[in-house]
Amino acid sequence: MYDDHQGWSQVKDNFDVGYTPVARLAESARVGDHTAEYARMIGNLEWRQASEQHMRLREADVRDDFGIILAGNIDLQIRQAYQAATQNWRAVFPAVPATRYRPYPLASIKGFPGTLPYVAEGKGYTETETTDYYEWGQIFKYGEMFTVTREMLRDDDKRAFARLPIDMGNKAAWTINAMVADTLENDDILLVDSNPLFCAEHSNVTATPTELNWSSLKSEIQNFLLQPDIRGEHMRLRPTKLVVGPLQELEARKLMQPTVLPTVNTPDQILPMSNQWLTTGLDLVVLERLSSYDWFLFAGPICPTVEVAFLDNIQTPQLFMQGQDVDLTAVDGIRYKERIECGTYACSKFGGRRITGTA
């Protein structure tokens, strides 16, 4: 399967290279032929697999399929690193599919959140309608190329080659984390009403600097319940997620301890008692890329504020290898391309609240 006319083909999981890390693959190549005999003596399945891969590498040294031998392992490690990286936004915001690059409208339902109207006996039903309120979603393409050479594998004394696919997987995850944080903090990103996501016009922000403590959290939960919906009525939605960045993580964890709770008058004083916040369904979520002292409350999936969209719902990075028929001089140097197509955007001004924090 070719990605484009320049000879890039997508790496699939059909290279039967196993789950041995590239570092072990490289190490086995340096050990020598006696590895196979040693593996048979001790009956170690892992070493037998490493020996087989070592023999395939030796064969690839004199052939033009060196990149194919490594591609499956690199692709596997990139995806494993991507999935292992912290992506706490998934606990707060939904991942949704997208089908195109062009901006697309996200319609809202009139009267949501709300209640169903009463239907009297013998009477008909009223029809819910979409409103003129909508936001725009859009995805973008992110990626980078890197080259792997035979010399990198042979001379990898500092294990830099083993770290390469792991770093590429982490970069893909961190890209999305940064996009989510930017959507929450960047007031230059405007909605269709020409206002930022969190503002006084939307009644979903506390602009006065507020310390994160027991009393302020209680007060902001009440403010959250009274936020207006699209009809101007109180939503009566209870927040389920307390979202903070690294600068507020310690204070937030004090509040969310299961067996201790700060006192009202002296927040730094900890009392051994049952924490009432854990019984209300409020979960703590730390987004590492948030850079301010601001803290947030969100209703969660019931009324999402932000969405993360992926083209064709492909939520992991894709790896492509440049075809060697393009450049015969690249037999011992294979170029790979990592790509992920996604977008983060505010899908609704409802369901979230930002509180300006203090140091």
- Determine the pLDDT at residue 65: 57
Asked if the bond preceding 113 is cis, omega within 30° of 0, the reply is yes
What distance in Å separates the CA atoms of residue 18 and residue 205, rounded to the nearest whole number?
A: 51
- Higher-pLDDT residue of 49 and 23 is 49
Helix (H/G/I), strand (E/B), else coil: 167: helix
Number of residues written out for the chain: 359
Q: Give the start-to-end residue ranges of the domains of the chain.
A: 89-359
**Mean pLDDT, residues 176-188 taken together:** 96
Among 16-25, 176-185, 299-308, top mean pLDDT goes to: 176-185
Which pLDDT belongs to residue 255?
81
pLDDT(246) > 70: yes
The tens digit of pLDDT for each residue in 331-348 reads: 566 788 999 999 999 998
The stretch 281-288 carries a mean pLDDT of: 92
Tokens of 107: 């319609």
Q: What is the pLDDT of residues 141-166, one digit of tens each?
A: 999 998 887 777 777 766 777 788 89
Neighbours of 358 (CB within 10 A): 14
pLDDT: is 117 or 63 the higher one? 117
Provide the pLDDT for residue 272.
52
For 122-132, what is each residue's pLDDT tens digit? 988 987 766 65
Q: pLDDT tens-digit profile of 38-66?
A: 444 445 555 555 555 555 555 555 455 55
Residue 220 has pLDDT above 90, yes or no: yes
CA gap 90, 193 in Å, rounded:
27
- CA 279 from centroid of its chain's CA atoms: 28
Q: Which of 18-27, 182-191, 233-242, 287-296 has the lowest mean pLDDT?
A: 18-27
* Range in 40-49, 70-79, 246-255 with the lowest mean pLDDT: 40-49
Per-residue model confidence (pLDDT) at position 263:
58
Angle between helices 45-60 and 22-31 in degrees, nearest 10? 80
Residue 52, sorted as left (phi over 0), alpha (psi -120 to 50) or beta, turns out to be alpha
Going by C-beta distance under 8 Å and a sequence separation of 6 or more, which residues neighbour residue 225? 234, 235, 236, 237, 238
Q: Does residue 5 register a pLDDT over 70?
A: no
Q: Which residues have a Cβ under 8 Å from the Cβ of 44 and sit 6 or more positions away? A: none
Query: Which of 18-32, 84-98, 104-118, 213-227 is predicted least confidently?
Result: 18-32
For the chain, the average pLDDT equals: 78
Residue 178: which of 133, 245, 114 has the closest Cα? 245
CA distance 277 to 216: 13
Q: Select 89-359's CATH number: 3.40.630, 2.60.40, 1.25.40, 3.90.1690.
A: 3.90.1690
**Residue 264 has what pLDDT?**
57
CA 296/CA 285 separation, integer angstroms: 10
Proportion of the chain above pLDDT 70, given as a percent: 67
Ranges 49-63, 111-125, 126-140, 303-317: which has the least confidence = 49-63
pLDDT at 302 over 50: yes
Rounded distance between C-alpha atoms, residue 94 and residue 351, angstroms: 13
Q: Classify each residue of 270-298 as buried b or exposed e, where b means 16 or more C-beta atoms within 10 Å of its C-beta.
A: eeeeebebbeeebbbbbbbbbeebbbbbb
pTM equals 0.75
186-219 pLDDT, tens digit per residue, is 999 999 889 999 999 999 999 999 999 888 998 9
Mean pLDDT on 259-265: 57
Q: Is the pLDDT of residue 136 over 80?
A: yes
Give the strand pairing for 295-298 and 352-355. antiparallel
H or E stretch covering 307: strand 306-311
- Residue 91 CB: number of other CB atoms within 10 A? 17
C-alpha 341/C-alpha 101 separation (Å) is 9
- Tokens of residue 245, six digits: 């960045």
pLDDT at 241 over 60: yes
Q: How many helices (H) and strands (E) does the chain have?
A: 8, 15
